[in-house]
Amino acid sequence: MSNPPAKVINLADRRAKKEDDARNAPISGWITWLFCPKCHSLEYSEIEMPNGRVHKKCGTLVEEEEVEIDVRTEYTISLRNTKILEELFKQSKIPTLLKPLAKKGFGMLENLQAAEVEYRKRLENIVNGPVNPYPDEWDEKVLDMELKTLDPLGLILTEARQPNLHFPDVES
């Protein structure tokens, strides 16, 4: 006797697993760090320009370092940074946490938050649409990557967001 219901369930399971795998698959992309030798400025871009580019401000040809990224990893960690910042805003713990910076503290958090939002916008540009983050149980510590934690806030920077790794001689 055959067992059609089990088979149907099995297929549905497999389809669900396949969809799940697709949702959790890495998305390859690139972030390029741009260094202007004249202004000594560093900025990143998600736009690839194989023929080089000049610094808008001064017209000098910039030096470029490409960093391969998993868009989903970058996005997930950025979202987690945003959650940490939102918590800090909510708890208004800022003055104690950043005592020496108490006055500047709030503005600094706002700048950090704006940087996270901007970074995710660039990542969305890479894939031309929304990015699904990894699930909550995904742990960035399993990555074979030099993560930098910004104390005391606990924000995490991936290698792609640490320009000194790509331009070690430049003080940022």
Question: Residues interacting with Zn ion, by CB under 5 A?
Answer: 36, 38-39, 55, 57-58, 60
Query: Least distance (Å) from Zn ion to the CB of residue 171?
Result: 16
Query: Least distance (Å) from Zn ion to the CB of residue 40?
Result: 8
How many of the other CB atoms lie within 10 Å of CB of 83?
11
Is 60 or 172 the residue whose CB approaches Zn ion more closely? 60
Query: Least distance (Å) from Zn ion to the CB of residue 56?
Result: 8
Is 9 or 39 the residue whose CB approaches Zn ion more closely? 39
Is 8 or 54 the residue whose CB approaches Zn ion more closely? 54
Query: Least distance (Å) from Zn ion to the CB of residue 43?
Result: 10
Is 39 or 114 the residue whose CB approaches Zn ion more closely? 39
DSSP string, 85-154: HHHHHHHT-HHHHTGGGHHHHHHHHHHHHHHHHHHHHHHHHHHTS--PPPPTT--GGGSSS--EEETTTT
Query: Least distance (Å) from Zn ion to the CB of residue 59?
Result: 7
- If residue 23 lies in a helix (H) or strand (E), which one and from where to where? helix 4-23
How many whole angstroms separate alpha carbon 71 and alpha carbon 27?
A: 5
Is 56 or 90 the residue whose CB approaches Zn ion more closely? 56
Question: Among 97, 87, 72, which Cα is nearest to 158's?
Answer: 72
